[in-house]
Structure 1
Amino acid sequence: MNIASVRRPIIPPTPPRAPDNLSFFGRLAVIRQNMIATWGQRAYEEEIIQGRFFLHKSFILNQPDAIRHVLLSNYENYTRTPAGIRMLRPVLGEGLLLAEGHAWTFQRRTLAPAFTPRATANLVPHMTAVLDETIVKLDARTSAPIDLREVMQRMTLEIAGRTMFSFGMDRHGPTLRNFIMEYGERLGRAYFLDMVLPVSWPTPMDRARARFRTRWTEFVAMLIAERRAAGKKDGAPPRDLFDLMDEARDPETGKGFSDEQLVDEVATMILAGHETTATALFWALYLLALDPETQEEVASETRDQHLDSIADIDRQKFTRAVIDESMRLYPPAFLIARAARDKDNVAGAAVSKGDIIMIAPWLLHRHEKMWDQPNAFIPKRFMSKEQPDRFAYLPFGAGPRVCIGAPFAQAESVLALARLIGAFRVELVEADPVIPYGVVTTQPDHSPMFRITPR
């Protein structure tokens, strides 16, 4: 994809690329620290890279047609890897993200009405209310450096709480954030036994994850009980995602969710919704702080805009392009890993049962044969007539299992970035580079301090 640039674009820092001849055990050692740093130059140049993962072959796919085959044409042949299940099941249970087969079909059909454009439009007032409050709080903190990553985490968690339950997260937010930090720091990392043993064989870390899950599901059930106690007037329209999910029925069977299933669905929506959006917004703010000219273009687009409806959000074309480009450079989900259920042929390569397929948005979005200046921040590439192949840009996945909340996340991200940059000029206080690392999502290696100035 070619794109013309009037000025030299910024190239944000990245971790050094691994040697292409890095040994298997050397790669395993790096994986625990930063999965992104395990890939060498070949992975950014070649369409398919074949290797070995213990007794099975492994494939890195950078070819859109091959990715289309795995994620769409023959998606039922590919399931999550044992390590992926171990990392996610303790926090997401059997919710939509991890469900397979008939359970997944039932959940997807049942949840779909809660995430239509109309349903998202009804939730925008919750978003704008939180943004109004955030801007007021930030306006009182312009005299000192500020950690905008933490602000984005708190803000998106508050939006998640209000859109899900119609109540604020002042009381429960710190507990929820502690759960997330506890899991990400130790339990959410892949250890050697996690990757080599079948899911049915518990690892020492699995026992710790099981103890975490007991506490976590009790906490989510408490949130649900509190929301149910608040009630809903008979005949009133749904006022939040919980109403929509609690009342949802499979259009074919008429069944709804059990209380146990609802706990997993709520956990999935809160975690997948708030953490990935906070990460995307942090990276967008970081890039705009590195690129003041692009930041001013965003501010100019938002000037004199009310920004309180889906129609207003849809008019922010350049701001949307900044979000799209930020998620190209820093895809929240940096890796999609699948294990083959049965033999297959992918782009001429023979795949056997148990082989590992890796589709890495981090690699795909920076592939040197698919993108012009792949490491540069150029939002206007997403405003040109020549758009990337649908299976070359995967910030929300693709195929039947594409993220069901993508329209909600996109609306929230564009609205938040437009409002924040419309209100404040954002600068970095320190010159130290922020290096992305992959642990569950694409996180910064540290939280830089920002300075904000009212416009």
Structure 2
Amino acid sequence: MNIASVRRPIIPPTPPRAPDNLSFFGRLAVIRQNMIATWGQRAYEEEIIQGRFLLHKSFILNQPDAIRHVLLSNYENYTRTPAGIRMLRPVLGEGLLLAEGHAWTHQRRTLAPAFTPRATANLVPHMTAVLDETIAKLDARTNEPIDLREVMQRMTLEIAGRTMFSFGMDRHGPTLRSFVMEYAERLGRAYFLDMVLPVSWRTPMDRARARFRTRWTEFVAMLIAERRAAGKKDGAPPRDLFDLMDDARDPETGKGFSDEQLVDEVATMILAGHETTATALFWALYLLALDPDTQEEVASETRGEHLDSMADIDRQKFTRAVVDETMRLYPPAFLVARAARDKDIVAGAEVSKGDIIMIAPWLLHRHEKLWDQPNAFIPKRFMSKEAPDRFAYLPFGAGPRVCVGAAFAQAESVLALARLIGAFRVELADATPVIPCGVVTTQPDHSPLFRITRR
């Protein structure tokens, strides 16, 4: 895409690129700290990179047609890797993100009605109520250093709680955040045995993850029990995602979710619905603090808007472009790894059973053959008539397994960013560059302090 820009765009900091000849064990040492830092310059220039991972070949795909083949045309031939399953199963169980085959088909069909545009529109009042409260709290903290990453985490968690259960997370939020931090800091990192052993072979970390899962599922089941105790009026329309999910039935089989399945689905939606959105909003605020001119464009677009409905959200075209560009530069899922079930041909290369296919949105979104000024922050590229290839931009995945909650996440992100920037001018109070780290999601290496002032 060719983008003409009147002023010089900012280029936010990134980790140094690895030497292209980094050894296998050198790469393993870096993976646990920051997967993004394991890729060298070739990965940002070439369409396909072939290597080896122990007994199997590995492929990094940066060619949209090849990615379309893996994620859409022949997606049933590719499954999650053992390491991917180990990283996600303790927190997501057999929910939608990990399910395969008939189980996935059943879950996808059953959940789809809960995330239609109409269902999302009905949840906007929950979002606006939390935003009103967040802005009121921030009013008392203007002109003082503030950790906006923590504020975004608390805010999106509150939105997740209210949209899911219609109750606030004052009592349960600290416990939920402690679960997330505990898992991300140790259990969610890939260790050598996680990557080389079959899933059926338990590693020492698997035992620790199993103990975590027991406590985690008990906590989610408690939230569900509390919500069920609140009841639902007979004949009343669904008031939250839990009502929609609890009432949901597969349109073909008529089956709903068992209590055990519901725990995994709720866990998936709460985690995917708050942590990734909080991180995306943090990065958007960071970029706008680095780029005051773009920040003023967002504020100008929101001026005079009520921003309390889907129609209002849809009118925020430039703010939506800022969110899209933020997720290009900092994709929540920085890597999608798949293992081949059977042999295949991808981009002219022979793929054998067990070979590893890597599709890295971090690389894809910064690839020099696919994007003009790939490392620069240029939101207006998403307002151009020349749209990016559908399989060159994957903030929510693509194909049959595209994120079911994408529309919900986009609406929440645009609404929150518009309301926050419409209310406050945001500046950095910390000059230390923030480096993105690939650990579970694309996280900052530290939480910088900001300073906000009322507009």
TM-score with structure 2 length normalisation? Answer: 1.00
Q: C-alpha separation between the residues in 2 aligned to 1:200 and 1:342?
A: 20
CA deviation digits over 1:291-317, x for unaligned, max 9?
A: 000000000000000000000000000
- Offset at residue 386 of structure 1 (A): 0.4
Tell me, in whole angstroms, the C-alpha distance in 2 between the residues paired with 1:419 and 1:347: 44
> What do residues 240-288 of structure 1 show as CA deviations (whole Å, max 9, x unaligned)?
0000000000001110000000000000000011000000000000000
Q: Deviations over 1:381-438 (max 9, x none)?
A: 0000001000000000000000000000000000000000000000000111000000
Q: CA deviation at 1:6?
A: 0.3
Q: CA deviation at 1:344?
A: 0.3
Measured after TM superposition, the shift of residue 144 of structure 1 is 1.2
Q: For the residues of structure 1 that align with 2:32 and 2:24, how far apart are their CA atoms?
A: 13
Which has the larger displacement, 143-152 or 222-231? 143-152
Determine if the alignment matches structure 1 residue 326 to structure 2 residue 326. Answer: yes
- 1:415 aligned partner: 415
Structure 1 gap ranges (5+): none
Instruction: Give the number of equivalent residue pairs.
Output: 455
Runs of 4+ more than 6 Å apart: none
Deviation at 1:91, TM superposition (A): 0.1
Instruction: Supply the RMSD in Å over aligned alpha carbons.
Output: 0.3
Deviation at 1:143, TM superposition (A): 3.2
Q: Deviations over 1:303-356 (max 9, x none)?
A: 000000000000000000000000000001000000000000001000000000
Q: Residue 32 of structure 2 aligns to a residue in which SS?
A: helix
Structure 2 counterpart of 1:223:
223
Q: Secondary structure of the residue that 1:311 maps to in structure 2? A: helix
Task: Tell me how far apart the structure 1 counterparts of residues 347 and 192 of structure 2 sit (CA, whole Å).
Answer: 30
Separation in 2, partners of 1:248, 1:69: 32
Deviations 1:196-246 (A, max 9, x none): 000000000000000000000000000000000000000000000000000
Task: State the alpha-carbon separation in 1 of the partners of residues 273 and 44 from structure 2.
Answer: 29
Task: Output one character per residue of 1:159-178: Cα deviation in whole Å (capped at 9) or x when no partner.
Answer: 00000000000000000000
Take 1:370 and 1:101, find their aligned partners in 2: how far apart are those partners? Answer: 33
Q: SS at 1:369's partner residue?
A: coil
- Deviation per CA, 1:73-119: give whole Å up to 9, x if none: 00000000000000000000000000000000000000000000000
> Partner of 2:452 in structure 1?
452
Question: Following the alignment from structure 1 to structure 2, what is the Cα–Cα distance between the partners of residues 245 and 386?
Answer: 38
Shift, 1:363, TM fit: 0.1
CA distance in 1, matches of 2:283, 2:197: 35
Q: Distance in 1 between matches of 2:146 and 2:212?
A: 31
What is the alpha-carbon distance in structure 2 between the residues aligned to residue 222 and residue 254 of structure 1?
27
- Equivalent residue for 1:122? 122
* Gaps in structure 2 of 5+ consecutive residues: none
State the secondary structure of the residue aligned to 1:52.
strand
**CA–CA distance in 1 between the matches of 2:432 and 2:216?**
36
Question: For residue 397 of structure 2, what is the aligned residue in structure 1?
Answer: 397
| C-alpha deviation, 1:377, in angstroms | 0.2
Query: What CA distance in whole angstroms lies between the structure 2 residues aligned with 1:410 and 1:34?
Result: 26
The equivalent residue for 2:356 is 356
Equivalent-residue separation in structure 1 for 2:212 and 2:369 (angstroms)? 43
Partner SS for 1:137: helix
Q: Distance in 2 between matches of 1:443 and 1:430?
A: 17
CA distance in structure 1 between the partners assigned to 2:45 and 2:253 by the alignment: 48
Structure 2: distance between partners of 1:63 and 1:86: 28
Deviations 1:24-44 (A, max 9, x none): 110011001100000000000
Deviation track 1:39-67 (CA, whole Å, cap 9, x = no partner) reads 00000000000000000000000000000
Query: 1:396, 1:328 → 2: CA distance?
Result: 11
- C-alpha separation between the residues in 2 aligned to 1:347 and 1:113? 36
Query: Please, what TM-score do these two structures have when normalized by structure 1?
Result: 1.00
**In the alignment, what sits opposite 2:277?**
277
In the other structure, the counterpart of 1:370 is 370
Partner of 1:174: 174
* Cα distance in 2, alignment partners of residues 280 and 254 from structure 1: 36
Distance in 2 between residues matched to 1:229 and 1:304, nearest whole Å: 41
Distance in 1 separating the partners of 2:143 and 2:297: 25
Q: Deviations over 1:355-381 (max 9, x none)?
A: 000000000000001100000000000
1:33 aligns to what SS in structure 2?
coil
Provide the identity percentage: 94
Return the alpha-carbon distance in structure 1 between the equivalents of residues 236 and 206 of structure 2. Answer: 44
**Mapped partners of 2:430, 2:137: distance in 1:** 23
The 1-side partners of 2:410 and 2:429 are apart by 28
Q: Tell me the residue number matched to 2:382.
A: 382
Instruction: Work out the CA distance in 2 between the residues paired with 1:24 and 1:300.
Output: 50
Distance 2:96 2:430 in 1: 41
> Distance in 1 between the 2:440 and 2:335 partners?
9
